[in-house]
Amino acid sequence: MAVVTLKDVRKVYAGGVEAVKGVSIDIPDGGFCVLVGPSGCGKSTLLRMVAGLETISSGEVAIGDRVVNDIEPAERDIAMVFQNYALYPHMSVYDNIAYGLRNRKTPKDEIDRRVQEAARILAIEPFLQRKPRALSGGQRQRVAMGRAIVRKPQVFLFDEPLSNLDAKLRVQMRVEIKKLQRALGVTSIYVTHDQVEAMTLSDKLVVMSGGQVEQVGTPTEVYRRPETRFVATFIGSPPMNILPGVVETDGRVSVGGQSLAAADMATDLKPGLAVDVGIRPEEAEIAAPGVAGCAFAIDFVEELGATELLHGTIGEGAFVLQVPTGSVPNGTKQVALTIAPNCVHVFDRETGKRLSRRPAEASKAA
């Protein structure tokens, strides 16, 4: 078990392309850190640098108190689970799991004990003598996990391990990975592009975009207080609505002709400044009769079962509202919405940064 520290890590490829532009993250001992971002944001490259599969152009990666920049992958005391499992097709499940231990000259009875134990934890005992091709996707996934845990490494690295599974299995494996990580208490870094996976698994969520870290925090922090417009629209499903707004006085902002109180908006903004206002689909509420609110024109309705998504516009901006099914009578064309002041997020239109009342550093510590 170990702390993992990334200090200003950069990756520049031979062609001059900068895939990772100076990332610093501290992952506490036993922490579950998820790197999330759209494809091409550098999250996999970063993980592969921790694994030792990519060279580090500059900066420092430390596992425990050891800088591992120039240490071979096998010596880093890590285990990795790959997206396509990367099982050795010609070896039985048992040999797949035992291979890493055999290469480390572990005594035979010790190997057997550990493989059996891993197989028991992952419920793959009946398949130990089979070849990977005789297994289903979920079972192969378990074998890949077994290969990782049998080594008792200091760090687990997961590279989109669930993307090749079908939706139902993905949810199930997600829970199992979380349980397993809790039980073993091994520091883990997990790469995914799926923001639901990221939210549910992490204690430390790192949102990346374009080779840079957009925000680091607990899932709740990131969800409640997105630091940038990118994070706001990336985390949460359906994504946060972004509407054009204009700053008024007294911490209020005007959206679609309606004045809204914004609890966290910076107080030193010039009235009349054009900003982007973010409102989560699930946080706007339909106003009680007689109460004034934003005029929301409904275009169409998407049924999701328990909830429904109302697509429409507020002023000129597209807006999606998520409400419990049946909240709005069929055929309603217009409703008024009220939005709680702490659910109004204000972003700089140019830089996309949150215009926050508290300084960014203070909010990170909170």
Q: Does 108 interact with other proteins (rule: CB under 8 A)?
A: no
Strand stretches in 96-177, DSSP E: 155-159
Q: Nearest approach, Cβ of 282 to other proteins (angstroms)?
A: 38
User: Distances from the Cα of 239 to the Cαs of 8, 54, 213, in angstroms?
Assistant: 30, 33, 19
Q: Does 362 interact with other proteins (rule: CB under 8 A)?
A: no
Q: Does 103 interact with other proteins (rule: CB under 8 A)?
A: yes
Mark residues 114-153: x for contact with other proteins by CB under 8 A, - for none: -------------------x-------------x------
DSSP-derived letter for residue 167 is H
Residue from 29, 58, 66, 88 touching other proteins (CB under 8 A): that is 88
Cis, bond preceding 238 (omega within 30 deg of 0): yes
Residue from 1, 40, 55, 74 touching other proteins (CB under 8 A): that is 74
CA 134, CA 121: separation in Å to the nearest integer? 20
Q: Nearest approach, Cβ of 189 to other proteins (angstroms)?
A: 14
List the one residue out of 280, 176, 237, 209 whose CA is nearest residue 36. 209
Burial class (CB in 10 A: 0-12, 13-18, 19+), 293: middle
Angle at 77 between CA 76 and CA 82, to 5 degrees: 90
Q: Does 250 interact with other proteins (rule: CB under 8 A)?
A: no
Instruction: Tell me which residues in 191-210 interact with other proteins (CB under 8 A).
Output: none
Are the C-beta atoms of residues 5 and 31 closer than 8 Å to each other? no
Residue from 79, 242, 260, 294 touching other proteins (CB under 8 A): that is 79
Q: Nearest approach, Cβ of 108 to other proteins (angstroms)?
A: 17
Residue from 23, 35, 56, 80 touching other proteins (CB under 8 A): that is 80
Q: Nearest approach, Cβ of 115 to other proteins (angstroms)?
A: 14
Residue from 12, 53, 261, 328 touching other proteins (CB under 8 A): that is 53
Write the Ramachandran bin of 281: left for phi over 0, alpha for psi from -120 to 50, otherwise beta: alpha
Could you tell me how many helices (H) and strands (E) the chain has, helices first? Answer: 9, 20
Q: Does 104 interact with other proteins (rule: CB under 8 A)?
A: yes
Question: Contact region for other proteins (CB under 8 A) — 84-92, 113-121, 222-230, 331-339?
Answer: 84-92
Contacting positions for other proteins (CB under 8 A): 51-53, 72-74, 78-80, 82-90, 99-100, 103-104, 133, 147
